[in-house]
Chain A
Amino acid sequence: MALARKESANARHYYVGVEHLFMALTRLEGGVTVGVLEEQGLAPRFVRYMLRQELSQGDDRRFWPGYRETPRLQTVLKLAHRLAQERGEAEPSERDLLLAILREGDSLPVRVLIAMEADLDRLEVVAANWSADQRTPSVPVPVYIQDPGVMLNAEELEVIRQMFPGHGRVVIDRQLHGGYSSARVLVATPYQPDGRAMAAVVVKLAERQAILYEKMRFDSFVRDTLPPTTARVVGNPTLVEKSTLGGLKYTFIREPGAPGPIDLADYGRDQGPEAMAELLRNSLFRVFGETWWLQHQRYQFGVWQEYELLLPPALVIEVAPEAGTPRRRLTPLGQWSRRGHFERGEVVALEGFTVEDFYPDRQGVQLIAGSGADAQLRAGKVEVRGIPNAMRVYHRGSVVEQIIGRVLYTRDDLLFQQVADLDPDFDPGQERLPAPAGFDYALPNPLRRYPNLLQRQITGSLSTIHGDLHVHNILVGPGGNAWLIDFAQTREGHTLFDWAVLEVSLLSEYIAPHLRSAHWADVWAAITLLLEISQTRRLRQTADSLSHALTAIVAVRDIVADCLANADDWREYYVALALCALRGMRWAKTVSLAGRRLLFLTSALAMALAMGRDGVSASSPDVDTTDFNIGVTDLFSSQRMQDALDASDDLNPDEGNPL
Chain B
Amino acid sequence: MAEQAVQSVTIAIMSGPDDGRKCQFRRADGAGSAGPNGTWILTLGRRDDCDLCLQFDTQVSRLHARLIGLPDGGWLLEDTGSRNGTYVGKKRIEGATPLEPGTLFRVGRTWLRLEE
Residue ranges of A at the interface with B (Cβ–Cβ < 8 Å) = 13-15, 17-18, 54-56, 59, 61, 63, 68, 70-75, 106-108, 111
Contacts and interface: CB of A to CB of B under 8 A. Distances in A.
A75 B20 contact: yes
A308 B109 CA distance: 31
A73 to B, nearest CB: 7
Given A55-B15, A107-B20, A108-B111, 17 more contacts: A15-B16, A17-B15, A17-B17, A18-B19, A54-B15, A59-B58, A61-B58, A68-B17, A70-B17, A70-B18, A71-B18, A71-B21, A73-B19, A74-B20, A75-B20, A106-B14, A108-B19
A67 to B, nearest CB: 10
A111 B19 CA distance: 13
A63 B56 contact: yes
B56 to A, nearest CB: 6
Interface of B: 14-21, 55-56, 58, 104, 109, 111
B19 A70 contact: yes
B87 to A, nearest CB: 13
A78 to B, nearest CB: 11
29 contacts: A13-B17, A14-B17, A15-B16, A15-B17, A17-B15, A17-B16, A17-B17, A18-B19, A54-B15, A56-B109, A61-B58, A63-B56, A68-B17, A70-B17, A70-B18, A71-B18, A71-B19, A71-B20, A71-B21, A72-B19, A72-B20, A73-B20, A74-B20, A75-B20, A106-B14, A107-B19, A108-B14, A108-B15, A108-B19
Contacts of B16: 15, 17, 70
Contacts of A75: 20
A70 B20 contact: yes
* Nearest 8 Cβ contacts at the A-B interface: A72-B20, A71-B20, A15-B17, A70-B19, A72-B19, A71-B21, A17-B19, A70-B20
A273 B16 CA distance: 58
A562 B5 CA distance: 54
Contacts of B19: 17-18, 70-73, 107-108
Contacts of A71: 18-21
Contacts of B17: 13-15, 17, 63, 68, 70
Contacts of B104: 111
A95 to B, nearest CB: 22
Nearest to B104: A111
Contacts of A72: 19-20
A54 B19 CA distance: 14
A503 B39 CA distance: 59
A106 B109 CA distance: 17
Residue of A61, A71, A108 contacting most chain B CB atoms (<10 Å) = A71
Contacts of B58: 59, 61
A560 to B, nearest CB: 33
A73 B104 CA distance: 19
Contacts of B111: 108
B85 to A, nearest CB: 14
A54 B20 CA distance: 17
A70 B19 CA distance: 6
Contacts of A70: 16-20
B112 to A, nearest CB: 13
Nearest to B108: A56
Contacts of A54: 15
A570 B20 CA distance: 57
A18 B17 CA distance: 10
Nearest to A63: B56
Of listed A15, A70, A74, A75, residue having the most chain B CB within 10 A: A70
Contacts of A111: 104
Contacts of B109: 56
Contacts of A14: 17
A203 B20 CA distance: 41
Contacts of B21: 71
A71 B20 CA distance: 5
Contacts of A59: 58
Nearest to B17: A15
Nearest to A18: B19
A27 B111 CA distance: 26
A592 B23 CA distance: 67
Contacts of B18: 70-71
Contacts of A17: 15-17, 19
Contacts of A73: 19-20
Nearest to A74: B20
Nearest to B20: A72
A405 B18 CA distance: 43
A73 B15 CA distance: 11
Contacts of A68: 17
A595 B33 CA distance: 71
A187 B107 CA distance: 45
A74 B17 CA distance: 12
A17 B14 CA distance: 11
A56 B110 CA distance: 10
Nearest to A70: B19
Residue of A55, A72, A73, A74 most packed against chain B (CB within 10 A): A72
A15 B19 CA distance: 10
A13 B111 CA distance: 16
B66 to A, nearest CB: 24
Contacts of A55: 15
B59 to A, nearest CB: 8
Nearest to A104: B20
A491 to B, nearest CB: 16
